[in-house]
Amino acid sequence: MNDSHTEASWVQRVADAAVEHARKSSSASIVCASGISPSGPIHLGNLREVMTAHLVAEEIKARGIEAVHVHSWDDYDRLRKVPAGLPEEWARYIGMPLASVPDPYGRADSYATHFIDQFIAAVRRLGVEMREVRQSQQYPAGAYNASIRHAMDSRGRIFDILEQFQTEGRHETSIEERRAAYFPFKPYCEVCGKDVTEVTGWAGDWVSYECRCGHRGSMSLADGARISGKLVWKVDWPMRWAFERVAFEPAGEDHHAPSSSFASGKVLVRDIFGSAAPSTTVYSFVRVAGGGAKLSSSAGGAATPDTALDILEPAMVRWLYARRLPSNSFTIDLAPSAVLRLYDEWDRFSARTAAGDASPVEAHLHQMSVRTSAGPVESSARPVPFRLLASVADITASNAEQMERLVRQQLTADGAVDLPDDAALLTELEPRLNNAIHYAKSLPEADRTVIRATFNAEAWAQLDEHTRDGVQMLVERMTGAWTLEELTTTVYAVPKLMHGLPADAAPTPELKKAQRAFFQALYRLLCSRDTGPRLPTLLLSIGPEKARTLLVPPA
């Protein structure tokens, strides 16, 4: 669902709630938070949380109010299972912090850093600026020690609160036994590095524990002491709300269920940590076309932001997340035909906004897509139609010199003057030019276009006289300016003339059928296939001399 028909965009409404929350808590700066556990490729589904927090923070800044986007990397979470695609011997790291697991690809200092670096490079291109907090640094450095001690002292009350949100009948031991054994802090063993530990005592500032590996140890939680361990998730989250003074944080549907961590966290942050839960909005899942399953960061093959940025301009990716209510799930479809339609839609939207014909909400969302408080988002100085660039990249096998020549020819035909030199023009086409090249290279082999080197005598022999006359008519009429507009007019006129109709006759089902048959004959002559790029673009790309060589039988 597009939110453009309401009086205010969802971003504006959510920002209103965040500002009101901060006003009640007398916060000087409004903190908008997001968090991700880098347990695998950080995908386009994870990006929704980051983009939601980012857009709300940007809206608040646009009002002249101080705001900051704080992003927490939960890289101190345990490795839960062997990641997809890695050998089973990786099981020896299960239970260790993600930041302590080696990078299996040998490029970063840890498994977590590998995926963090990949994600950050992409979101920077998206114009997302955020203060990153790595929990693998915060916890060991003792940043939360005072909060952990308070939680340990309040362990009975914490247990009672969490018990209210648990499903009855799930436990074999009595509630009294579980309450007596409950501790909200989970040590990482100082010998094996894993969290297969149990707290055995808490006195003063010291916590003692025993590990499944056989080690028995203790550590101080005094201020300034370095530690090895963290609060359990349902206590960790509300603790950090209070610590960071978070005013807004989006959360997925699963976190907003009645018995979820957000529900219990609202009580814990108030009753234990003396603060208030942030304002929030529920965001739904992002799906991949044809997959039907929500993206999971611990599963292999997930589409990451850099995957989308290979094909789509950064502003377009921002637009995909800004234009929909967070509570509405949506699909990102990078299939060839879907990408072409998406570029067409984006260009129409941008043109409508530039002309002043967009609604106030549409104009607001477009502005949020193309600019941030730090400046404009990366975009092409000359947004040439993507269909043209994609076809040219396909036909020329991404040869930059040939692509520049064809684009220059089209721009000149469209009335452009004082075009820069070759290299400068190519620069002005970026990043869309590079997107088009990636798009062309991603096409299945069966969909790639290879122009014939010689006349296709076999295909010509299979044509009836009527179709041959049509091909001859097309060649005879291709005498004007070799521009996309002229070629489009000519290519679509010939099938009408072949059937005794005027060149501007309105299309009918019968005429469309005749056009398809004629176009199929041309594709076979030009590239030995039944289909291909739009014929006007194809002819423009190969040039008049080559076109006549392939369409006219040799004498």
Residue 476 to residue 458: CA distance in whole angstroms: 22
DSSP line for 6-67: SSS-HHHHHHHHHHHHHHHHT-SSEEEEEEE--SS---HHHHHHHHHHHHHHHHHHHTT--E
**Strand 67-73 to 30-36 pairing:** parallel
Summarize pLDDT for 118-145 with one digit per residue, the tens: 999 999 999 999 999 999 999 999 999 9
Summarize pLDDT for 518-531 with one digit per residue, the tens: 999 999 999 999 98
Residue 279 to residue 498: CA distance in whole angstroms: 67
Please say if the pLDDT value at position 432 is more than 50.
yes
Please say if the pLDDT value at position 298 is more than 60.
no
Cα-based angle 127, 131, 132 (whole degrees, multiple of 5): 105
Q: Which pLDDT belongs to residue 5?
A: 42
Please tell me the CATH superfamily of domain 1-140+233-372, with its number: HUPs (3.40.50.620)
Count CB neighbours of 464 within 10 A.
Answer: 9
Summarize pLDDT for 334-385 with one digit per residue, the tens: 888 899 999 999 999 999 999 999 999 999 999 999 999 999 999 999 999 9
Sequence ranges of the chain with CATH classification 3.40.50.620: 1-140+233-372
Question: Residue 367: phi, psi to the nearest 5?
Answer: -60, -40
Contact between residue 229 and residue 144 where contact means Cβ atoms under 8 Å apart: no
Cβ-count burial of 300 within 10 angstroms (0-12 exposed, 13-18 middle, 19+ buried)?
exposed
277: left (phi over 0), alpha (psi -120 to 50) or beta: beta
Summarize pLDDT for 232-246 with one digit per residue, the tens: 999 999 999 999 999
Q: Which residues contact 353 (CB under 8 A, 6 or more apart)?
A: 362, 363, 366
Contact between residue 73 and residue 132 where contact means Cβ atoms under 8 Å apart: yes
CATH architecture of 457-551: Orthogonal Bundle (1.10)
Mean pLDDT for the chain overall = 91
Contact between residue 142 and residue 149 where contact means Cβ atoms under 8 Å apart: no
Cβ-count burial of 265 within 10 angstroms (0-12 exposed, 13-18 middle, 19+ buried)?
buried
Sequence ranges of the chain with CATH classification 1.10.10: 457-551
Of the chain, the percentage scoring pLDDT greater than 90 comes to 75
Residue 388 to residue 153: CA distance in whole angstroms: 67
Give the largest CA-CA distance in the chain: 101
Query: What global pTM score does this model have?
Result: 0.88
